[in-house]
Each structure stands twice: as structure tokens, then as C-alpha cells.
Chains A and B, each alone.
Chain A
Amino acid sequence: MKRRPLLALAAGLPLAGWLPAMAQTATVGQAAPDFSLEDTSGKPVKLSAFRGKTVVLEWNNPGCPFVRKHYQGNLQALQKEATAQGVVWLAINSTREDSADYLTPPQLARWMAEKQAAPTATLMDEDGAVGHAYGARVTPHMYIVNAQGVLAYAGGIDSIPSARVEDIARATNHVRVALAELAAGKPVSRPTSLPYGCSIKYRNAAG
């Protein structure tokens, strides 16, 4: 009778050792968690399909003033600049359906079109699984996955946390700097920075 719990413990121990590793959020310098999400037209997009290319992940929510700050031209310019150099740009929206900020896929697609945004794809992550896997907290929260599939950058879009458009000109755009460094085959000089913006409206932890 007494043996059973011991045996169960023995079986569970190696598993227990691995569990935290699986639950861990994305870490710069380690493999970026792979994911497959549908874009606003329902087409699945898989991160690992872009292996060999640099991929930018942008956490997006048009309801957030910080996102709107950067969609007054800054993000569009960066998206065009990056994609012209062969970089893949994925805008990801992790807003839950019952949030006031939630946009249906067609609504989100329309907003992006109105803004003349130029990401490679705009992806829906209503259950927040991908957002949680990357530890995304805010919009806009920016990530760069290098051509080898390793997370090379995680953080804010630039160096001045504010909602003022005027600050963009004075700020250092961390994403632009990191992309230039990666393109030149150099290590990213600032692999993490402080992300700023609105909280992502995740479903409650249970969802």
C-alpha cells in the first residue's frame, strides 16, 4: 500500500523538472515559441514557416492610445522599411472578444487598411495563448525573431515612453536599430528594453 505514492512520485519527478521549462515565457537568446494563428482573413500563419527570415512581432490593439500614437505614420514607415528588406512583420492582436477594445477580424483588417499599415499579416490571438507565450504585456510590445528562430529582441518600440506623437522624433527606435544590427550580422546591442503602453486585454487566466 505504501509503495504506490512513492512510485508515483518517482514517475512524476522527471516531469516536474520539465514542467517549469515548458511554462516559461519567451527569453531573449532562446528559441522563440512557435505558433500558428489565423490572420484577419482566416488564413493560418505559422511562425516557423518563416525560418531563414527575420520576423518582427508587434502586439497591436487599435483601441490603445499608444498604438494610435505610433500608427500616425511611425509604425507604417517602419513596417514598409522592414518588409522591403525581406523582414516578415506580424501584427498580433490578443484582445479578448468581450473587451471594449475588441475588433472582429474584418474590423481590424479595415482599421489596418485605413491606416495604410503594411505588416506581412495581421493575426488574431483572442485566447491570448501566443501573447502569454511571449510574455507580451502591453500594446505595442515588440519582439524580433532572428533568421534562426531565436528571440533576438523583446521590449518597447522606442526609448521614450509617452503617448505624445511629438516624442517619436526624439526617441531612439529600438526595433529599427535592432533590425539594422541583425541585417549587418551583428549582435543586437540592446536585446531588451522597457515596453510601454496599454495592458493587453487578455482573457482571464482560466481562458
Chain B
Amino acid sequence: MLSLRSSLACLALALPVFASAQNPLLAPAATVVQTEQTRTELLAHAPQGARPGQTVWVGLQITHAPHWHTYWKNPGDSGLPTELRWTLPEGVSAGDIAWPTPRKFPLGTLANYGFDGTVLLPVPLTIGPGFNASQLKVQLEASWLVCRQECIPEEGRYTLSLPVEGSTALNGAAFEASARAVPTGQAAGDSTLSPDGDALKVSLAGLPAALRGQKLEFFPELPGVIEPGAPWTQAWEGDRWTARIPLSAQRSESPERLALVVARAQPTGSGPGEPGVRLDVPVQGTWPPVAALPAAEVPAELQAALDANAARAAAPQPGGASALTLGAALLGALLGGLILNLMPCVFPVLAIKVMAFARHGDNPRAHRVQGLAYTAGVVVSFLALGGLLLALRAAGEQLGWGFQLQSPAVVATLAALFTVIGLNLAGLFEFGHFLPSRVATLQARHPVVDSALTGVLAVAVASPCTAPFMGASLGLAVALPAWQALAVFAALGLGMALPYLAASWVPAVARALPRPGEWMNTFRHLMAFPMFATVVWLLWVLGQQSGIDGVAALLAVLVALAALLWAWGLRGRSRWVMGGLSTAALAALLLALGPHITRLQGGTDNTTVATSVAGVSWEPWSPQRQAALLAEGRPVFVDFTAAWCVTCQYNKRTTLADARVLADVAQRNVALLRADWTRRDPQVTAALASLGRNGVPVYAIYQNGRPPQVLTEVLGVEEVRAALSAL
């Protein structure tokens, strides 16, 4: 059976049956080719003759056997468009086929665009001034694919001579019918096409009244863009027709404009479809990448976060749906906040806490009140920060946890604040000397407020890092309805404050402290140094954001600030003179140098950073670079980091600089990429979101064809080496 059909097909290819002239007028040229599936004929229409300046229409008329079809210019899922190759005398040139509106032929999950019955594919011939024969000899080589379920490629050769002076109008009706079947051209106007995820959003304006309210078929002229056989949706909104058409998962084209034909769906009869409308519409937005990054099949710990994301994307239904995952997130947040106290992130505030604790000596009640106040300060700050984050995200900002330190102004303010606290601890001045007395007494009489403010400060500088459990919870929180998200933030704060709160309620802890005495002063002076160390760190963060000019400007401001604090602590006339001078100096400096501090330095750092192992270096991360490396088959280790994240910096200088880790990296040819989130960067925010995270540090190993692996925030040498050895 097979060989029979093969030979039939071969017959069709090799031995087209040249029917001798059936039309006596055109004798003796061969104009008809007949096979089992098709009868094809070369037709011409030249009512005014074929003199120079005239346009003559010629065309191939295909009559299909029942159930067989040939193809349109975009054949759809399979098939081939019919091809016409002309041989013409000098001075005569052929145009393109004026394709009639096609029909859609569904075949299970696939679909084709083409014609059944009888169709004429017309082509205009332009007769140039150089043409001066008495007969116009037209030669055509045509090839087409004719299919039912099975397909047969066929070819034919045709010759036709037209009298230049006489009229050729015998087939006028066929050409007129074909011209009517050609879709009407229409300007794109405010019609739009925009890729949206895995679909193409179509919105066509001003379609003719005859089409309105009708169910339409959509024929893109370019193949390889949409999924012709997939189900799709369409709707009329007044005179605007909208549709959502699935894009091909293996799309081969990403055009800037797409010419398309819309026509009534499922027209009756055979031949061309009902005359449609042709538009050439610019594509708005960007096509989704054809070669996507490896899919996130998710590590178990992130499942909850991603489930929530997926649920949110599937149906924006607040409340109820995520009760279980919310519970997990709350627990994770509490644990994460607790662990945050053990992370290097809290180094800067450690001193503040120890001081606050020592200050009240052996007074259990005071300790308890302080503990509660500190907790309240921390929780309220977390809520405020979280609320601000959610509000800004809702306003469309691409932000994540720690966003406050992405602003140089905030960093500079914190540096100034820590300088003031440091100078105070060092004994340069006492708050009582220059603060309005009401505020000073507030501080003295209401140590509760003081404790609460300590909590606020702790959150401002220590919270931007994430800890284990906390990362996933935060990632989930930003996707939850607002009140649930705020509950997660509150749980984080509670977790962070918990150790101090617990300590303040255990009398033994307070009793273990020495009685107040001279040691308190020494201790206080000692604690000034961690404060200054914090200022150094903040200056370094600012340096990443505003550059050396920003740092120098801030240092100058800090010097003026210190002078001012000292001057207002003086007595007598010198207080007013020095105080006035230093205030003026500070104001002038702020005015002159302020912009240097808050201005973000242009351009990100694009340099590659070498490591201690030859051939291993850190490259700046970009989604493109990551995709390129993965396409090369290299595993990619991404360090999502920020200068203001102390844990990130700690890991960077310990584990990630470890010689054994780097040796493993070299051996396994792992590419190292560093995604810096010190400043705002929507791309980094998006990459974090794809891992179910919304804060740093995150350490992820990507490998072609595998789900990304997220390591813990407390990055250990052994953990990294184990992960690398599994590659």
C-alpha cells in the first residue's frame, strides 16, 4: 500500500500529465495539469490586450478533488504555500500572488490555512515599455502541496501566449470572483497586537460593519508565531474586536509588525473563505524569549511561597485561600526574625542593645518595661517598613526588603545618627546640654521611649538582611493580601525582639550584671567604637551608591556635625560663637555638598572581579549573561548581594572567598555571577521574585534543565562544596 502511494506521488512529481489544450482558443499551449487530486490550469485576463503600460492578470486555478486542500501563504501547522515561478519576456514582470482569503482546516490539535474546492491564485503582470512583441508568452512552473490526511507534492509546467493587441477576457468572471475574495486592505489605525505571557493579545479597531458581531477567524501572514490549532477566545466590544491567541511554544519569529487577515469563521461552501480584512499591525511590547531560562521546579521550602504566587496569578482572590501557607509564613517569619539576631547583620546594633541593657542595672521592673518597649519599637518599625514597602509596590515600584538602604539619603541620615550616638557615648557631649529641655527630660524621664527608639534604629539598619526561614516568608509576604503581609512583618519583628524581651523577663540575667559604678562610664566609652564602626560601614555603602565624592561630602558634613555638637556643649560666650559658626558651616556644607551625597553615581560597576584562584572571577550578573552561560551548558552560581547587607558582605569575604570553594568552582567550570542590589534594580528584584524571595542574601545555583538550587543565608563552606559537588 505504501509503495503504491509512494509511486503515485512520484508519478505526480515526475510525470505531470500535460493535458493537451482543452481550450481551443489557447491551443496549442499546455495550460492544464491534471492529477488524481487536482486539476490546475493557467488562466489569463487581458481585456485591453497586453500593450506596454497595461496590467495583465494571469493566475493558477486549482480545482481540488473532494476532501483535498492546498495552502495559503502561511500554511499553518504544516504544509507549504503554493509557489508560482514565472518565465516572462523581457520588459514584463510578475507581481506577488493576490492571495484570496483562506479557510482554516483543523486537524485534531493542529490546523492549516488554505483552500479546497476551486480557487484562483491571481498574479499581476506589468508590461513595461521595453516589451514590443506581438504575442506575450507566459511560462509558469508551479509547485504545490495537496493534502487530505496524507500529503502529495505536485508540480506543473504551463505555457500560454496572449495576443498583445487582442482581448483575452474569457476568464474574466473567475478573476473578478478571485479579486472579490482578496481581503480588503485596511490601515492599522489604533488596532494593537501585544504579546502577553504565552498569548498574543489582539485588539482590532474599525472593522467593517459586515464583520461586526460575527465570530472571526484569525490568519497571521507570518508562520511560526501563533499556535494555529490551539483553542482561543475572542469578543466584540462595540466595534472593537479583541482576541487572545496562544503563541507557539517554539515560536520561530518575533516580528515588529504582523500582517494578518481576519474573516468570518467557518464559512460555508468551498474555495476561498469569505472576503476578509487585511491589516498590518505594529507589535507593542516585547515578545517573550523563545529560549526561556530553566523552569523553576521548586525546592520544597519554596513550594509554599510559589504556590501562593501561582494562586495569586490564577485568581486574585484575597482571603481564605492561603490560610495554611500564611500560618507557615508566620512561623517562618518568627523563626527568621529570631535567627536574624545571630546574623552578622545585627553587628551594628549589638552595642546599642548591650548598652540599653546595662543601663538599668538590677531593676527587674525597669528591664521588663524596657524589654516591652524595645519589642514594641521593633514590631512597629517592621510594620511601618513593611507597610511602606507594600504601598510602594502597589504603586508599581519594583522594590524589595531592605529598600530603605537603597536610598543614599537614608544611608547618609543613618550615618549621621550613628555619629551622633557614638559621640554621645564617647562623652563629647550630653544630650541635656543642647536639646530643648523638654526633649532632654523626655529622654531622661522616659527611658521607655528611648528603648522604643532603640528598636526603631535596630530595624532601620539590621533588618535589610534576611535570615534562614525569613527569606521565603518575606518572598511570600509581598504576594499576600495586605493584612496578611503585615502580620508576617509583625511576626518578623516579634522574632527579632524576642531574645531581648525574654532576657528582660528573666531576673537572673539582670542580677548577673555588676552593680552600677565607674565601670558603666568605661563601658559607655567603649561602646562608642562599635557605633563609629557602623558609620564606617554606612559610609562604605554610600560609596557604592554615590561614589567617592558622596563619601567625602558626607564625611565633611559629619565633621561639621561633630563640631556643632561639641560647640553647643561649651559654656559662656564661646558656646554662642562656636555654636553659631559650626551651625553656619553645617548648613553651608549641606547646601553645597548635599547633592553629592544623594546623587546616585551613574552606571553600575561592570568590572569583573578576580579571585585568589586563577581563572575564577566574579562577573556582574544580568539575565542575558546568565542565559548565555546556561546555554553554554555551564552551571551558574549567583550571589544576590547588597553593600548594605552585612550578612552578604560577611559571606562574601569568608565562604565565597574560601580557597577550597573556589577550587571546586574552577574544577566544575561554574560561572560566578554577582547580582548587586545595593541600588534599586528591577531586574534583580524580578530574579529574586522568581526564586520566591524579596530580600538578600540569596545564593542560587542555576543549571540547564534543573530547578535552581537556593542555598541558605548562613552560607557555610561545606554547604557550598556539597552543592557544587552535586553538579
Contact = CB atoms under 8 A, between A and B. Distances in A.
Interface residues of B, number: 64
Contact of A29 (B2, B6, B109, B292): B292
A161 B80 contact: yes
Contacts of B145: 65, 163
B24 interface: no
Interface residues of A, number: 64
Contacts of B324: 10
Contacts of A29: 289-294, 627, 630-631
Contacts of B726: none
Contacts of B253: 194
Contacts of A163: 13, 80, 143, 145, 153
Contacts of A99: 149
B77 A138 contact: yes
A1 interface: no
Interface stretch (B307-315, B355-363, B462-470, B602-610): B307-315
Contacts of A199: 77-79, 107, 110, 112, 147, 149, 151
Nearest to B298: A18
Interface string B43-79: 0000000000000000000000000000000000111
Contacts of A185: 632-633
A64 B148 CA distance: 12
Interface stretch (B31-39, B244-252, B416-424, B435-443): B244-252
B631 A188 contact: yes
Contacts of B289: 29
Contact of A100 (B150, B630, B631): B150
B290 A28 contact: yes
29 contacts: A13-B315, A14-B307, A16-B310, A16-B314, A17-B311, A28-B290, A28-B292, A29-B289, A29-B627, A65-B145, A101-B2, A132-B109, A137-B110, A147-B633, A148-B706, A150-B704, A150-B705, A163-B80, A185-B632, A187-B628, A187-B632, A188-B631, A192-B291, A193-B224, A194-B223, A194-B253, A198-B150, A199-B78, A202-B108
Interface of A: 6, 9-10, 13-14, 16-18, 21, 24-32, 62-66, 68, 99-101, 103, 107, 111, 132, 135, 137-138, 146-150, 152, 154-155, 161-164, 185-188, 191-194, 196-205
Interface of B: 1-2, 5-6, 9, 13, 77-80, 83, 107-110, 112, 143, 145, 147, 149-153, 223-224, 248-253, 289-295, 297, 307-311, 313-315, 317, 320-324, 627-628, 630-633, 703-706
The 9 A-B pairs with the shortest beta carbon distances in the complex, nearest first, are A17-B310, A163-B153, A29-B291, A187-B631, A150-B705, A14-B307, A199-B78, A154-B250, A148-B704
Given A13-B314, A29-B290, A163-B145, 7 more contacts: A17-B307, A29-B627, A65-B145, A161-B80, A163-B13, A194-B223, A199-B79
